[in-house]
Amino acid sequence: MRALDSHLHLWDPEVLHYTWLEGPLAWRFADTEIEHSRVSRATTETAVFVQAETVEDDFLDEVRWVAGQASAIGVVGIVAGVRLDRGTDTTAHLEGLEAEPLVVGVRHILQGEDDGAAGTAAFVTGAREVAARGWTFDACIHAAQLPEVSRLAAAVPELRIVLDHLGKPAVGTAEAPVAPTPEWVRDIDDLARHPLAYCKLSGLPAEAGGDWSREQLEPFLDAAADSFGVDRLMWGSDWPVSVIGPAEADDPHAPDDGSAAYQPTARDRWAEVVIAWAEDRGHDVDAILWRNATEFYRIGERRATPDAEDQPRRGILGWLRG
């Protein structure tokens, strides 16, 4: 089985600057750490790195830092941080990114922006520049902002947009699950009407605070499949954000005070849930775990040999060299 993680983060607070890292996330998460968080069923495993919201001045440095270790980790594409509403500064930044061959898309995080931010003339102009370069846009929002992403898709119909984390719906916890709301279902249906809009099956464990179950989250996967169809879904781990929560059983490093901890098996567990759900529903597992993300991000075929699925995993994340 092959897996392309469409939503992997990496960071190192000693190399780059972040304002939001705290608790178990305020550590280095890079090559050594991801080596111990592989997807157990994957014989071939690669990833798309998604910007980890460094301070704005570090956006380009982050791309270069990731590119420097990409072949060792298995990163085959980079979604770079950018501000799309800065006019000529946005243009200059995008031109700088053109020198980085692994850049396949950009992300301007909208979840903390004022309502209507993605509909401003400056933002739409920036989005058109992204589309003109053949790059994608990752939409990181809260569920209430879904209509705004639909309006962006209508304003820039040539832009390939992927909805991060299913739009971050409220999911509750394993013990107190919350069903998909009619409003969220309506809004992802509306977004899915745009043919270049895709959806990442990612981030739900984080929305549950790391306390989640397959039964709790499957209704959201079903709704996404109903809206987007299997050919526009892609699995993403959201590692390490989505592997923080209650300490796992038998964790020798569990905090004595019961506070949130890093969950060593959570990335693999989330992959297994998505795989099992897809198999049970008769969905194309290879499309969800590999092919759709490869096509959406236009990952070059040169990055893997024709018989890659039959070869053993080599190195961190099973990166196939040559």
For residue 253, the model assigns a pLDDT of 82
Whether the Cβ atoms of residue 125 and residue 163 lie closer than 8 Å to each other: no
Edge-to-edge strand ranges of the sheet holding 2-8: 2-8, 44-50, 75-81, 103-107, 136-139, 160-163, 197-201, 233-235
Of 126-140, 226-240, 243-257, the poorest mean pLDDT is in 243-257
- From residue 82, alpha-carbon distances to 63, 130, 177 in Å are 11, 10, 35
Q: What is the DSSP string of 203-259?
A: SHHHHTTT---HHHHHHHHHHHHHHH-GGGEEE---BTGGGEESPPTT-TT--TT--
Which residue in this structure is represented by tokens 């099973």?
318
Instruction: Work out the angle at residue 46's Cα, subtended by the Cα atoms of residues 42 and 47, and round it to the nearest 5 degrees.
Output: 125
Tens of pLDDT along 155-172?
Answer: 999 999 999 999 999 999
Q: Which residue has the higher pLDDT, 250 or 266?
A: 266
Identity of the amino acid at 102: L
Looking only at the bridges linking them, the beta strands covering 136-139 and 44-50 are unpaired
CATH architecture of 2-318: Alpha-Beta Barrel (3.20)
Nearest residue to 76 (alpha-carbon basis) of 53, 98, 103, 97: 103
- From residue 195, alpha-carbon distances to 106, 115, 191 in Å are 19, 24, 9
321 pLDDT more than 80: no
Average pLDDT over residues 201-212: 98
Burial 143-181 (b: 16+ CB within 10 A, else e): bebbebbbbbbeebeebbbbbbbbbbbebbbbeeeeebe
For residue 302, the model assigns a pLDDT of 37
Whether the Cβ atoms of residue 235 and residue 201 lie closer than 8 Å to each other: yes
For residue 256, the model assigns a pLDDT of 80
pTM value?
0.92
The percentage of the chain sitting over the pLDDT mark of 70, rounded to a whole number, equals 93
Domain residues of the chain, as ranges? 2-318
Per-chain mean pLDDT for the chain: 93
Of 74-88, 199-213, 250-264, the poorest mean pLDDT is in 250-264
For residue 305, the model assigns a pLDDT of 31
Whether the Cβ atoms of residue 192 and residue 228 lie closer than 8 Å to each other: yes
The DSSP letter of residue 288 is: I
